[in-house]
Amino acid sequence: MTNIEFNSHFRKQNKDVARLLIKCPDQPGIVSAVSTFLMNYGANIIESSQYSANPEGGNFFIRMEFSCPDLHTRRSDIEQSFQEISTKFNMDYEFKYVSDIKKTAIFVSKELHCLMELLWEWQNGDLIMDIGCIISNSENAEQLAKSLNIPFYYIPANKDIRMQVEEKQMRILKEHDIELIILARYMQILTPNFVSHYPNQIINIHHSFLPAFIGARPYERAYERGVKLIGATSHYVTNDLDEGPIIEQGVERVSHHDKVDDLKRIGRNIERSVLARGVKWHLQDRVIVDGNKTIVF
């Protein structure tokens, strides 16, 4: 089965399944009100997770996945009716429809290990996404993209032409209706203008266990510091370099025997798995951003 056929089958299977993500001030009656609302529409709750940051004055977070008969024709009615509850509890909320597979773009530079992991899991059906395009400032990934019939755009980039490059990139992203951008070791800094167009929609992999060794050459600096653990961090991109909300992290133990090249080799394995997990949780609508933190259900 091709990915196009798989996505079509997935959409049909999940045409009546949705997820409701909520953030609001903690108070009694939230779960009861939401559950009763869904029950009145004949919905069956498949999965429910909740978290209270501080029962005495903090925020409350909930993720509910539910099935509802004829959901695809009742979306507008359900969303409009839910506004009464959202106003009562002062909710920030989103309905996410599982059959609306997210349109994704992958940005990559010369190193392809993270890209290859994403494509492998996408081909296996572990990452349910519609890859609209791959954009790169290197030609290394072109043949790989073409072998999978994914549109590939080679756009040389450096700090001197950053604005022009991003204008081209944003035109391409608009043409493909992109909802999620994955930076799979894309070694260019994005401008505030670019980031502002995709709030909490750009996932980066940083080859360090943040907040340690922010910026360039983290493995070299980790080696010089003599660390015993190295890691990687997937996070949403903000205008503060490598300081956006963290989605997932991973570590591996190293020793004084390991040189810089050893750290990089070990780190590549961590990077690709950490990025894939962060992307998967975003695709499954398991992440709620709260300031510079995330709640991951």
Residue 147 dihedral angles phi and psi, to the nearest 5°: -65, -20
pTM: 0.94
pLDDT in tens, 191-209: 999 999 999 999 999 987 7
d(CA 114, CA 275): 7
Catalytic residue among 130, 242, 258, 285: 242
pLDDT in tens, 235-271: 999 998 888 999 999 999 999 998 999 989 999 999 9
Q: Specify the residue for token string 């903690």.
A: 26
Pick the CATH number of 103-296 from 3.30.1490.100, 3.40.50.720, 3.40.1010.20, 3.40.50.170: 3.40.50.170
pLDDT in tens, 20-49: 999 999 999 999 999 999 999 999 999 999
Domain ranges of the chain: 3-97, 103-296
d(CA 282, CA 102): 10
- Residue that wins the pLDDT comparison between 56 and 150: 150
- Predicted pLDDT of residue 118: 98
Query: Does pLDDT of 210 surpass 70?
Result: no
- Predicted pLDDT of residue 149: 96
Give the other-Cβ count within 10 Å of 6's Cβ: 16
- Predicted pLDDT of residue 217: 84
242 is catalytic: yes
Comparing CA positions, the residue from 239, 285, 289, 230 lying closest to residue 260 is 230
pLDDT in tens, 105-130: 999 999 999 999 999 999 999 999 99
DSSP codes, 257-291: T--HHHHHHHHHHHHHHHHHHHHHHHHTT-EEEET
Average pLDDT score, the chain: 94
Mean pLDDT check: name the lowest of 75-84, 148-157, 178-187, 252-261. 252-261
CATH topology of domain 3-97: Alpha-Beta Plaits (3.30.70)
Contacts of 21 (CB under 8 A, 6+ apart): 62, 63, 93, 94, 96, 285, 288
Structure token pair of residue 88: 């009562």
- Predicted pLDDT of residue 272: 95
